Chains A and B, each alone.
Chain A
Amino acid sequence: MLKRVHFEPSVLPYLLVAPQIIVTVLFFLWPASQALYQSLLVEDAFGLSSEFVWFQNFEELFEDPHYWGSFQRTFVFSFLVAFLSMSLALILAVMADRVIKGSGIYRTLLIWPYAVAPAAAGALWFFIFDPTVGFIPYALQFIGYEWNHKLNGNEAMALVIFTASWKQIAYNFLFFLAGLQSIPKSLIEAAAIDGAGPTRRFWTIVFPLLSPTTFFLLVINVVYAFFDTFGIIDAVTGGGPANATNILVFKVYNDGFVGLDLGGSAAQSVILMAIVIALTVVQFRFVEKKVAY
């Protein structure tokens, strides 16, 4: 008797997984290996020859104060984007969870921003905040505030943070809402009988029970802020003024395709790759084990 299910050798299983493997190799592994290889090369100014220099590109990067500045800005940017978009999304989700009438419309409307392309969202906020024609700077004038993100680096940073957060709120909102709805109602009722008011119930029962969702979103939002905000930066500030919004992912593009320093740009993207790998490991290690209660 056969101990295991036995199949005749066949090419069919290989054919079935082939598309997946081809796509992965062609669009992920090959470009990634190219980036790794490029990061070890230095090209001459005219792009006619290149020289293998081992880790010289990385050494230069780590000695470059601009690079560390960009690193710092990226951390500030991603922390604030994650914090702002997650806290606003949580507030909206808590409110949406209470709405009974017309909740479908309310939820649908809140999800819309997610469907807007980053560049389009950037253009939208660019116009709203434009120092010359924008509505908000005009309004701010009346309370005596001169808004000009084209000159003021902090304002430029604030603007890209708003834009990036606004786009991400919808996504976070969906997950928080689902998280809230999965908390059994009887737990809230038990806490109410135990004498906890709405605020206390939220912080001692609801928020701790949302922690798996919150941690998951934190990783997702940091990844988003690190890597998916290129379009917004490009459309709103173009990395300026004076590199104030030049975060890592934008610097990769700027140094590589504007500054034509392909080797240095590739080295930067390799570092970003390492960061995303680290975040993914954190995601898998912790989200699935530690935060479960």
Chain B
Amino acid sequence: MASVTLENLQKTYPNGFKAIHGVDVDIQDGEFLVLVGPSGCGKSTLLRMIAGLETVTEGKLSIGGKMVNDLEPSQRDIAMVFQNYALYPHMTVYNNMAYGLKIMGLSKQEIDERVKNAAKILELTEEQLTRKPRQLSGGQRQRVAMGRAIVRKPSVFLFDEPLSNLDAKLRVQMRIEIKRLQESLGITSVYVTHDQVEAMTLGHRLMVLNGGNVEQLGTPIELYERPASLFVAGFIGSPAMNMISTKMSSDGKSIEIASDISLALENGGAADYAGKKVILGVRPEHLELSQTDNSLPFTVTLVEHLGADTLIHGHFGEDMTDLTVRVSGTHTVKAGDQLPVTITRDHIHLFDPATEKRISL
């Protein structure tokens, strides 16, 4: 059990490419932190730096209060689950799990006990322990990879997109198992994924990375309710948040959504942005299909029936601004229909188009 502290952690490759631009985070003991972002954002690099597979160019990395910048991976008391599982193909499942323990110099009895115990937790049968990895299914291999991490009883678990090679159904199942396992073992974990659903469901806290920079660090709900930037707003939530270019009124107390429709802002608005252009963000699930004084005339172009929800795509206004509305249940809306859509002020987000940062009200 240990905390992991990153202080101004940076990575520059020998060719001059700067992959990580200074990350600061204090991962609490027992916390589940998810690093999330699009491919190439540096999330895997950051994880590999914590693992010791990539060198730290600048900054300080501590595990359990001890600086580990220059320690070998094996000395950091970590275990890692790789995307392709990285199981040793020539060893049986048992030996795959026992490999690290043998190197630790544990007794045969102790090794046997730990491996059997891990197998039990992960529901691997005795017979499966004698097989080679290639004789197992994807989900079973995933379990073995986790087992190899568990038996070492590390202070920190590192997961590098461990579920991306599984099919959708298995992924959901393994996601739940990882969450349950992490909670029961209480081991500090860092998990890399590009899948925002995985990130939201697994993490105590999420770190959204973009181009080697931290866009936002916070709990899943914080990220959902108060995205710090346009990037986070667009990345978290599915379908993605609607972004509408609008103008702040001259007194800064309301925004003008369309030519004659304006929306009064909470807390007296933002006087700094009076008369300026702002980007209004509204999640599809926060739009209402109702006729009010300032509802928008919405033209439907496409309807997606998901069963539990219905996604209605369309546009409004003279410049045909795209909009997606999510309503629960099934609806008999068809393309070409005209509907009134209302934006309520409770769930709106405003962003500065220049800095792409959130405008706080």
A293 touches B100 (CB 8 A): no
B99 touches A191 (CB 8 A): yes
Total interface residues in chain B, CB < 8 Å: 25
B78 touches A193 (CB 8 A): yes
Contacting residues, chain B, for A191 (C-beta < 8 A):
88, 99
A189-227 CB mask vs B (1 if < 8 Å, else 0) is 111111110001000110011010000000000000000
Chain B's closest residue to A196 (CB) is B103
Contacting residues, chain A, for B99 (C-beta < 8 A):
191, 194, 196, 204
A195 touches B88 (CB 8 A): no
Q: A187-B88, A208-B90 are in contact. Are A194 and B74 (CB under 8 A)?
A: yes
Contacting residues, chain A, for B51 (C-beta < 8 A):
189, 193
**B84 beta carbon closer than 8 Å to chain A:** yes
Contacting residues, chain B, for A184 (C-beta < 8 A):
84, 86
**B80 beta carbon closer than 8 Å to chain A:** yes
Contacting residues, chain A, for B23 (C-beta < 8 A):
none
**A132 beta carbon closer than 8 Å to chain B:** no
**B316 beta carbon closer than 8 Å to chain A:** no
Cβ-neighbour of A190 out of B52, B86, B132, B134 (below 8 A): B86
> Given the complex of chains A and B, what is the CA–CA distance between A200 and B72 in angstroms?
15
Report which residue of B83, B88, B100, B104 has the largest number of chain A beta carbons within 10 angstroms of its beta carbon: B88
> Given the complex of chains A and B, what is the CA–CA distance between A192 and B84 in angstroms?
16
> Given the complex of chains A and B, what is the CA–CA distance between A204 and B103 in angstroms?
11
> Given the complex of chains A and B, what is the CA–CA distance between A196 and B86 in angstroms?
15
B88 touches A205 (CB 8 A): yes
> Given the complex of chains A and B, what is the CA–CA distance between A196 and B148 in angstroms?
14
A193 touches B90 (CB 8 A): no
> Given the complex of chains A and B, what is the CA–CA distance between A208 and B91 in angstroms?
10
> Given the complex of chains A and B, what is the CA–CA distance between A30 and B99 in angstroms?
56
Closest CB-CB distance, B23 to chain A, in whole Å?
21
**B89 beta carbon closer than 8 Å to chain A:** yes
Closest CB-CB distance, B309 to chain A, in whole Å?
38
Q: A184-B86, A200-B103, A205-B88 are in contact. Are A193 and B73 (CB under 8 A)?
A: yes
| Chain A residues at the B interface, C-beta cutoff of 8 Å | 184, 186-187, 189-196, 200, 204-205, 208-209, 211, 293
Could you list 5 A-B pairs, sorted by A, with CB under 8 Å?
A: A192-B74, A193-B53, A194-B148, A196-B99, A293-B90
Q: Contacts A189-B73, A193-B53 given; 16 further ones with Cβ under 8 A? A: A184-B86, A186-B86, A189-B82, A190-B82, A190-B86, A190-B87, A190-B148, A193-B52, A193-B73, A193-B80, A194-B103, A194-B148, A195-B103, A195-B104, A204-B99, A293-B134
